[in-house]
Amino acid sequence: MSENQIVVSLSGVSKRFATGGLEALRAIDLEVRPGEFISLIGPSGCGKSTLLRVVGDLVQPTEGRVVVNGKPAHQARLDRDYGMVFQDAVLYDWRTVAKNISLPLELLGWDRPRRAERVRELIELVELGGFEEHHPWELSGGMQQRVAIARALSFRPPLLLMDEPFGALDEMTRERMNMELLRIWQQSGGTILFVTHSIAEAVFLSTRVVVMSPRPGQIVGVVEIDLPQPRTADTREYPRFFELVTEVRELLRRGGTDFDAPVIEEELIAAEEGL
Amino acid sequence: MTKRHVAEWAPAILVFALGIAAWEGLVRGLEIEEFLLPPLSVILETFWEDPDTFVTAGRITLIEAVGGFVIGCAAAILAALALARWRPLGEALMPYAIAANAVPIIAFAPITNNWFGAIDKESKMAIAAVLCFFPVFVNTLRGLTSVRPAQIELMRSYAASEVEVFRRVRIPNALPYVFTGLKVATVLAMIGAIVGDYFGGSPNSLGTLIRRSAGIFAFETAWAAILVASVLGIAFYAAVALAERLSMGWHASARARQVE
């Protein structure tokens, strides 16, 4: 893959659901370069999760072109060009941690020794040593999400699609997982497309934050996050961090996000606690 | 561990012992006529006087029940797989399956005897198989289709084929449901075999033995045969429950944890 090849290219992507005629996305243009960490942020129901699924070829756009790794999204899915992580870890209860992680490798037809070796590497990467033979229900929420991340990375996809992966975690676990994810991102050197509704999380993690408007989801603006890499716990205390958080919030408000609505208010409090 | 096991089982064993004692004591104390309810000791004596008759009868009935169980459950699981794979087919047939489930199938026993030969084992297997079919079918189909959408979406993200989705998600997800159905089916299979034998029926089967001895007022023999049927029924159920534990320990421990 050449340095300047685009990992994800969306042009004029719109989505209208057949049932109810709900317009979820309107005229989305976006390009994601290799090694970028892009966050999609917007109010609940703005279509950001739908957009992620459009990139993953799990939802078909009504209009527009989706190119992933230089191919149509459908081909990219068949080629296993991306790994997916959902808000709920989506682990299979009948499989142990090790077997959950190796599931995609089984589907790819890797033999047992090769799978075992890769699982060992991943267990180390996500720091779950000693839990290989545990079942999902024996793990905390944060640990379950680490298994899901290890599973998504197992076959070394160049792109990681993450749909509010830490949305169900408490604030402290969430901050710890943010650090973990950045470390994993730096070690594996991939590209990440990350959906969140936490402003602080988006600013802390990303190289660019894509701000979306309420339904139908449109891109209001893109904020370059010029905070120094690697990010540390101190990053959240830099004046520049506050400025960027404010910038994202202003864009959200200009896009029509109603910060007085009760649901958003909760998220705002959560975001502010993160500051 | 062993100590805990003893502690867990002790109340049940105590109730069992008290029940037997109460049976024996009440029947003797109230001088209940033996043709109404003989004491357990008399029933056991009857069994020991001629164990061969009861063992042979039990074996025939068990073959009928297990044969019907295997045929009915296999057909049910295959049908559920087909209907889960081709949803429109499932939607078209499901109302009829539910309606058929509400039919008192045992009423057809004289008919299946007529179709497959009253004295042959096959007719009893047929009625047992039909009885087993519906609970296993309905449970299996529910298990195959009640998969969380995200679990399927994740498999799609791996570009997994429909066969892979069944093998790695739908079938493992369905196993607890399947076993629930199978356990119900063991009981129904025994009922089917015995009641089938009430109408004509295989010579020397438990059903025939119960009917004949009751007809000639040899109630202690009928009771001994009922006792054998009960023991076989419980053993059959326990065997399937054991298979469940062995094949999916993960589920048993998951359930145990939820209860805690």
Q: Parse chain A into domains and list their residue ranges.
A: 1-81+165-275, 87-156
Here the CATH number for the domain that contains residue B109 is 1.10.3720.10
Dist. CA B1–CA B4, nearest whole Å: 5
Is the pLDDT at A272 greater than 50? The verdict is: no
Dist. CA B35–CA B12, nearest whole Å: 29
Structural domain includes residue B64: yes
Q: A-chain residues within 8 Å CB-CB of B150?
A: 86, 88, 90
Confidence band (pLDDT; 50, 70, 90) for A20?
confident
Predicted pLDDT at A166: 87
Of A20-24, A194-198, B217-221, least confident by mean pLDDT is: A20-24
**CA nearest to A107 within chain B:** B160
Q: What is Dmax (Cα atoms) for chain B?
A: 74
Structural domain includes residue B130: yes
From A94, A107, A137, residue closest to B158, measured CB to CB: A107
Q: B-chain residues within 8 Å CB-CB of A93?
A: 250-251, 254
CB A31 within 8 A of CB A8: yes
CA torsion, points A129, A133, A136, A137, in degrees to nearest 10?
-110
Dist. CA B197–CA B187, nearest whole Å: 16
Q: Find the chain A residues whose C-beta atoms sit closer than 8 A to any C-beta of B.
A: 56, 58, 77-80, 82-84, 86, 88, 90, 92-94, 103-104, 106-107, 135, 137-138
Predicted pLDDT at B45: 87
Q: Is there a contact between A135 and B248 if contact means CB atoms under 8 Å apart?
A: no
Dist. CA B220–CA B209, nearest whole Å: 11
Q: A-chain residues within 8 Å CB-CB of B251?
A: 93-94
Confidence band (pLDDT; 50, 70, 90) for A4?
low
Structural domain includes residue B13: no
Count up the domains in chain B and report the number: 1
From A86, A103, A138, residue closest to B150, measured CB to CB: A86
Structural domain includes residue B246: yes
Residue A123: both structure tokens together: 């267990």
Residue A96: both structure tokens together: 């142990």
Q: Is there a contact between B151 and A104 if contact means CB atoms under 8 Å apart?
A: no
- Encode pLDDT of A83-103 as tens digits: 999 988 899 988 999 999 999
Dist. CA B62–CA B67, nearest whole Å: 8
Structural domain includes residue B1: no
What percentage of residues in chain A have a pLDDT greater than 90? 27
Residue A186: both structure tokens together: 């730096």
CATH class of the A1-81+165-275 domain in this structure: alpha beta
Q: Return the sign of the alpha-carbon dihedral for residues A26, A29, A35, A40.
A: negative
Structural domain includes residue B158: yes
Predicted pLDDT at A99: 93
- In this structure, the strands spanning A37-41 and A208-212 are parallel
- At which residue do the structure tokens 């089982």 appear? B9
- Encode pLDDT of A145-169 as tens digits: 889 988 998 888 889 999 988 888 8
Q: Is there a contact between A94 and B175 if contact means CB atoms under 8 Å apart?
A: yes
Q: B-chain residues within 8 Å CB-CB of A83?
A: 157
Q: Is there a contact between B172 and A77 if contact means CB atoms under 8 Å apart?
A: no
Dist. CA A55–CA A32, nearest whole Å: 11
Mean pLDDT of B87-97: 83
Structural domain includes residue B65: yes
Is the pLDDT at A206 greater than 90? The verdict is: yes
ipTM here: 0.82
**CA nearest to B161 within chain A:** A107
Structural domain includes residue B29: no
Helix (H, G, I), strand (E, B) or coil at B40: helix
Q: B-chain residues within 8 Å CB-CB of A80?
A: 158-159
Q: A-chain residues within 8 Å CB-CB of B158?
A: 80, 103-104, 107
From A56, A92, A93, residue closest to B157, measured CB to CB: A56
Q: B-chain residues within 8 Å CB-CB of A145?
A: none
Is the pLDDT at B43 greater than 80? The verdict is: yes
- Encode pLDDT of B157-188 as tens digits: 999 998 999 999 999 999 999 999 999 999 99
From B150, B159, B253, residue closest to A78, measured CB to CB: B159
- Encode pLDDT of B238-250 as tens digits: 999 999 888 876 6
Q: Is there a contact between B159 and A80 if contact means CB atoms under 8 Å apart?
A: yes
Q: Find the chain B residues whose C-beta atoms sit closer than 8 A to any C-beta of A.
A: 148, 150-151, 153-154, 156-160, 164, 168-169, 172-173, 175, 248, 250-251, 253-254, 257
- Print the domain residue range for B159: 49-259
B243 Cα to chain A: minimum distance (Å): 16
Residue A26: both structure tokens together: 């309107």
Q: Which residues contact A1 (CB under 8 A, 6 or more apart)?
A: A34, A69, A158
Q: Which residues contact A152 (CB under 8 A, 6 or more apart)?
A: A83, A84, A85, A160
